[in-house]
Amino acid sequence: MKEITAWEKVEIARNPKRKTSLDYIENIFDEFIELHGDRNFRDDKAIVGGLARIGKKNYTVIAEQKGRTTKENIERNFGMPNPESYRKAIRLMEQAEKFNRPVITFIDTKGAYPGIEAEERGQGEAIASSMLKMANLKVPIISIVIGEGSSGGALALGVGNKVLMLENAIYSILSPEGYASILWKDSSKVKEAAEKMKLTAKDLYELKVIDKIIKEPKGELEESFIETSKSLKEEIENSIKQFQKMSKEEIVEHRYNKFRNMGEYKIISN
């Protein structure tokens, strides 16, 4: 069977029918209560977050959320977070640390919103602060790339003790279109750009940027989604059990060493 190309992976990750973060949250967790607002400006719906539960175990979930219809995408700002989204995420991370809840993040964005208003409200600072908060958080963090993870908008939620990635997701510093425009001054060379960027799950696992690839079974979309959700749930539960054996200081050190050594430092096995 012919192997799927990098550009074909990009198209799959961007498919409007692909399951969103809220779809996975609904299927993985037994209960989810959404919390709103950054306590400073407003509630930005490009990132959803709140309290979740699997069995008797409580979690904090923070997720980038796209829409499907035009109306939903306008409401969610096409999944491109404003600064207040990242500040909401930071507030929820601090709450998670206070109550000793593991943090689960879902990454699915073409990038942080690049509008003038977002820059005026400190977009770069908000992204950097989110990454800094994650780096020092004293509870386990599992980051999951479920669709299109691009630029700092994705990395802002990607500083996890364990980074998982769905088989047909992509994760990169920018879009193939942007890469082609910068490198060749020709945005039409997207297919060549996608190959060179090493943005597929397979590429990133080999480069030790991610810790594990979650298979997406072929077949009917709904059946595949249920199976993928089940695999993610098992991975979350198994990983958290392993992290529970570590002290708060060891959790922070594990995360620090993981990114310093690009995955060579392994406490948790694959």
The two structure tokens encoding residue 106? 């879902």
6-230, what's its fold? 2-enoyl-CoA Hydratase; Chain A, domain 1 (3.90.226)
Kind of pairing between the strands at 103-109 and 31-35: unpaired
pLDDT tens per residue across span 231-249: 999 999 999 999 999 999 9
**Is residue 173 exposed (0-12), middle (13-18) or buried (19+ Cβ within 10 Å)?**
middle
Name the residue type at position 115. Answer: G
Output the pLDDT for position 187.
84
Q: Find, among 52, 48, 25, 21, the residue nearest to 37 by Cα.
A: 48
Taking the chain (270 residues) in consecutive chunks of 10 residues, what is each chunk's mean pLDDT?
86 93 97 96 97 97 95 94 98 98 97 96 97 98 97 96 97 93 92 95 95 86 88 96 94 94 48
Output the pLDDT for position 267.
41
Output the pLDDT for position 1.
56
Can you tell me which residue has the tokens 């942080």? 112
User: Which residues face 48 on adjacent strands?
Assistant: 63
